Structure 1
Amino acid sequence: MAQTSTTVSGPRRTPPRPGAAWRAGGGLAGPAAVAVVYTLVQLALLVAGAGLGWDETVYVSQVSPGVDAAFFSAPRARGITFLVAPLTALTPSVEALRVYLALLSGAGLFLALRVWRPLLPARVLTLAGALFAGLWITVLYGPQVMPNLWVALGSLLAVGCFLRAARDRADRAALAGLGAGMAFVALMRPTDACWLALPLTVAALCVGAWRRPVLLLTLVAGVVVGCAPWVVEAYLSYGGLVARLRRADEIQGALGWHLAFYDQLRALQGRLLCRPCDVAWRRPGTGVWWFALPPLVAGGVLLAARVRLRAVVLVPALAGLSLAVPYLLLIGYAAPRFLLPAYALLALPAALCLLWIAEAARPRPVAAAGLALLLGAHLVVQYGILDGAAARARVNRTAFGRVAAELGRQGVRPPCVVSGEEAVRIAFRARCASRQTGGHDASITPARLAALARDRPVAVVVSGADEPPAYARSWRLRRLPDLPGTHHLRAYVSPSAGRSPSVLVMEVIFI
């Protein structure tokens, strides 16, 4: 009699589906914690004692009561001035402005990450937010009156909303977010909005399920609405759109084929603007993460195909690369802030790759500890650069305050005009108007400035071996305190500037 064998087996186990461990969703505690820490670091390191930079002064002067607006050159857009206008209408305090922007940028980071909650796991969003917020550039520009960080946050939000609206036709909130996000980016920097819209438009046309008129119309409408103020201003103040574009191209050094990779790398040492970028690369450690970013992004994109997140990761990667194109290939100088929008989007695939490495490597505790050490070392380098930049900002504020005070003692008081070296920042601190007779910011003729000097105080500031213009050579010469990087600073003060009594007494004593 044949024996029948039986197999005793336990409960049948269903093999895990590809990507099951990477399912989107989860809590928002991680992204919220990143946003809170990001805000607190700004408040702790960058609020007290920091003055306004040159570009910041131009933007703030447009909406500061009682101050003549500085010359607004063709490439600039007024989005950041609209953002700070509510605060500047209430107080001239730079510290209050820093706190306001620090709180706004922290909230903006959380909102931009929150949009991605239905698309990516919470741990990916948390690490991506930490990678982006941990860069010295991101922290430094959080409380600054500069548009680049806001372009980054708006781009992160817009791309997330685009993917949500493309995948779910019923998600009207995402569709509205897409339009608002694109308009916000365009309001801050119109050209960046066009580079952002390019890959999203291609994706909407190439993916059959996404080929919906409402999606494309919302995308284009957002860009048009955001660019409208810039275009209107072009016709009102610059002689038309073509004339403004041509002038912007001239000011930016004639856009064309310029490989700026090495310039951007050297700028990561702490140079806020590298133009011309002739500095030596003395701190290679500051660029290690820059070399690690491309393979991490590529790894994240490849992994996304395995875990059923291909479009969710590929689209932000392409959008980030598109936003980097003009600043790596078309502009002949560098500034770390230019690439902030690219870093914000590329942080998503990079975070996915890093998490996969940490979870796939064995033994896992050792791998996780090694990754934590690497990230810790990265943060130490970043905050070393940040500390230096913050210290320089405090030194600059003190130095410009001394120069403005000395001009005040020489009778350069409102209504007054400052021209020449560092005129924008000196004039703003002295509550004067800044006017230049040459260069990209030329806003007055020499004859007109000389005429103004007959009925109001005018100071022409020169440095080094520079000579004053002909109309100011007979004016009263006064030595000014040096500025960082600028020595032998002098002011030629018009006869219409009456000196303060204390200065007159001191001069009588010494005579």
Structure 2
Amino acid sequence: MRKTDVIGETPVGAVVAARQGTVAAAASGSPLPWLAAVSAAFTLVHLALVAPGLGLGWDESVYVSQVSPQAPAAFFSAPRARGITYLVAPVAALTTSVTALRVFMAVLAGCGLFLALWVWRRLLPAPVLAMAGALFASLWITMFYASQAMPNLWVAYGSLVAVGCFLRAAQQPSDRWAPAGMAAGVAFAALMRPTDAVWLALPLAVAAVVMRAWRWPLLLVLLAAGVAAGCAQWIAEAYVSYGGLGTRLDRASEIQGRLGWYFSVDDHVRALDGRILCRPCDVPWRRPATALWFFALPLLVAAGLWAASRARRHHAELVVATVAGAALAAPYLFTVGYAAPRFLLPAYALLALPVAYGLVRACRPRPWGRRIAVGFVAAALAAHLAVQYRVVDSAADRVRRDTAELGRIAAELNALGVRPPCVVSGTDAIRIAFRAGCASRQRSGHDESITPEELAAMARHRPVAVLVGEEGRPPAWARAWPAHPLPGLGKRTGLRAYVMGAPPADTSR
């Protein structure tokens, strides 16, 4: 007798279980209105509360500059992949309006959340999917990055699609499109972040073998094909621009502080108080309440798995989602020596499924305890939402202040004659150069893309500005250039621009 997707079940048992799951899902109502409501709320709340005034960040400026007419393309360092640039291209290539880009990406993010959860409609009940979507969307990290040109949220969507389609392909032989959907999800994740796709595909490959899934050899082939297809451009670019795949991987590791064995869990905990990047993360932990949900997450996941085991339904699906989520989190928790909350978005998206299952089941006790359970869950969620809103509001407010200050610095450079075609180097050159319409070129660091001699030579035929902080000194070859004070940038005051090759400054202001 042939084995099926769940060890120890007969083929007849598998069919009966699948039908029971379908009947249960149908009994809970169509997922369409549930998921549509969650996705629409996600988009509208972000556009109303977070997106206004949110200018492009450092990484966003790099990705958008590859297709934007506003400024020459910034240097594309080894770890980056071009998937997010392809995603923003339809708008970024046509307009320099940040508002248009934000609206486009926010709507796309809402549609992406809907599609990623819609894939699971035959696997989990509609209330569970709606709860999972709401939990994931309400995290300040998800809400903050909803309209940003950053890849991590899209890796999360690709991961949800890949795992959901894998389970459908493994459990439902009649689902002809599920294997292709799994490969597409993995390829999409790889296009955004190649290494994440590898960590996504590995547990799915193991699950295909362990579960003795229907057509498991085909699933293994399609997983490998999805990773290869998504990584193809990144690998080809490694040989064209970086001296080979090994060289690019080594440089990517160097830029990330040399990958190795680290314990970065505490870094991620501290970063949850609203830090976009915690590197180095030797900062005080001022708001412990912002990380309570992080500590509760493993317990809530375990409770969801236990509830599924007790119900003898949906257990395999939630186990696979949990293992895949843990695999996606592991490299960032234990091999990277710093923290950025967005790194764990794919893991949070998958782990939201068992958490949601446990919460929904908790609200279905005997009649005498139902009100107590619902009241407790509602109170906990309300407190959670309040904390998440405070954090995202604080993070967005910092970015808005930076946006205004960067705009003033760029305008000052333009008034000094640093106008296209121009080059900006030095302190925060990438964000400032993009706003000023200039190319950004750095002489050292992660974005090293020009030699001092080449930069000095450029000043003979185009405007070049070297930006220096309050305690910094210009390079020797630029010390004789005229120095101009610039507006401050956050806590960074005393900025100066050493400018050469510019026409006379605009004195009409």
Q: Distance in 2 between matches of 1:501 and 1:132?
A: 50
Q: Cα 1:464–1:208, aligned 2, differ >3 Å: closer, same or farther?
A: same
SS of 2:497's partner is strand
Q: Cα 1:22–1:128, aligned 2, differ >3 Å: closer, same or farther?
A: farther
Check the 8 A contact 1:417/1:458 in 2, yes or no: yes
The one of 248, 266, 271 aligned to 1:267: 271
Check the 8 A contact 1:46/1:143 in 2, yes or no: no
Alignment of 1:427-446 (within 5 A): 427-446=433-452
Counterpart position of 1:340? 345
Partner amino acid, structure 2, of 1:398:
A
User: How far off is 1:499 after superposition?
Assistant: 2.5
- Specify the structure having the higher radius of gyration (Cα): 1
Partner amino acid, structure 2, of 1:304:
A
Q: Distance in 2 between matches of 1:364 and 1:166?
A: 36
Alignment of 1:262-301 (within 5 A): 262-301=266-305
Q: Distance in 2 between matches of 1:35 and 1:501?
A: 48
User: How far off is 1:51 after superposition?
Assistant: 0.6
Check the 8 A contact 2:419/2:438 in 1, yes or no: yes
Q: Distance in 2 between matches of 1:220 and 1:311?
A: 23
Check the 8 A contact 1:405/1:430 in 2, yes or no: yes
Alignment of 1:337-376 (within 5 A): 337-360=342-365, 362-376=368-382
Alignment of 1:115-154 (within 5 A): 115-154=119-158
User: How far off is 1:48 after superposition?
Assistant: 2.0
Counterpart position of 1:11? none
Counterpart position of 2:426? 420
Q: Distance in 2 between matches of 1:313 and 1:255?
A: 30
Q: Distance in 2 between matches of 1:442 and 1:85?
A: 25
User: How far off is 1:440 after superposition?
Assistant: 1.5
User: How far off is 1:302 after superposition?
Assistant: 2.2
User: How far off is 1:211 after superposition?
Assistant: 5.1
Alignment of 1:142-291 (within 5 A): 142-210=146-214, 212-291=216-295
Check the 8 A contact 2:70/2:434 in 1, yes or no: no
Q: Cα 1:501–1:267, aligned 2, differ >3 Å: closer, same or farther?
A: closer
Partner amino acid, structure 2, of 1:213:
P
Counterpart position of 2:60? 56
Check the 8 A contact 2:50/2:392 in 1, yes or no: no
Partner amino acid, structure 1, of 2:343:
F
Q: Cα 1:427–1:330, aligned 2, differ >3 Å: closer, same or farther?
A: same
Counterpart position of 1:473? 479
Check the 8 A contact 2:271/2:340 in 1, yes or no: yes
The superposition leaves residues 136-184 of structure 1 with CA deviations (integer Å, 9 ceiling, x where unpaired) of 1001101000000000011011100110011112212212211111110
C-alpha RMSD of matched pairs (Å): 1.6
The one of 42, 50, 73 aligned to 1:38: 42
User: How far off is 1:395 after superposition?
Assistant: 0.8
Q: Which runs of 5+ in 2 are unaligned?
A: 1-16
Check the 8 A contact 1:323/1:342 in 2, yes or no: yes
SS of 2:363's partner is helix
User: Is 1:409 aligned to 2:378, yes or no?
Assistant: no
The superposition leaves residues 245-276 of structure 1 with CA deviations (integer Å, 9 ceiling, x where unpaired) of 00001001111110011100010000000000
The superposition leaves residues 292-313 of structure 1 with CA deviations (integer Å, 9 ceiling, x where unpaired) of 1101111212222232212111
Q: Cα 1:345–1:383, aligned 2, differ >3 Å: closer, same or farther?
A: same
Q: Distance in 1 between matches of 2:58 and 2:335?
A: 24
User: Is 1:390 aligned to 2:396, yes or no?
Assistant: yes
User: How far off is 1:391 after superposition?
Assistant: 1.1
**Higher mean displacement: 420-429 or 60-69:** 60-69
Partner amino acid, structure 2, of 1:411:
G
Q: Cα 1:20–1:400, aligned 2, differ >3 Å: closer, same or farther?
A: closer
Q: Which runs of 5+ in 1 are unaligned?
A: 1-16, 507-511
The one of 79, 90, 95 aligned to 1:91: 95
Check the 8 A contact 1:205/1:211 in 2, yes or no: no
Q: Distance in 2 between matches of 1:422 and 1:441?
A: 11
Q: Cα 1:20–1:87, aligned 2, differ >3 Å: closer, same or farther?
A: closer
User: Is 1:27 aligned to 2:49, yes or no?
Assistant: no
Partner amino acid, structure 2, of 1:347:
A
Q: Distance in 2 between matches of 1:199 and 1:338?
A: 18
Q: Distance in 1 between matches of 2:395 and 2:487?
A: 22
User: How far off is 1:498 after superposition?
Assistant: 1.3
Check the 8 A contact 2:486/2:496 in 1, yes or no: yes
Counterpart position of 1:112? 116
Partner amino acid, structure 2, of 1:118:
R
Check the 8 A contact 2:70/2:96 in 1, yes or no: no
Partner amino acid, structure 2, of 1:369:
G
Q: Distance in 2 between matches of 1:94 and 1:46?
A: 13
User: How far off is 1:218 after superposition?
Assistant: 1.4
TM-score (normalizing by structure 1): 0.93
TM-score (normalizing by structure 2): 0.93
User: How far off is 1:485 after superposition?
Assistant: 2.7
SS of 1:418's partner is strand
Partner amino acid, structure 2, of 1:58:
V
The percent identity for this pair of structures is: 61
Check the 8 A contact 1:22/1:121 in 2, yes or no: no
User: How far off is 1:486 after superposition?
Assistant: 1.4
The superposition leaves residues 36-87 of structure 1 with CA deviations (integer Å, 9 ceiling, x where unpaired) of 1000011102332111000000100011125211111000000000000111
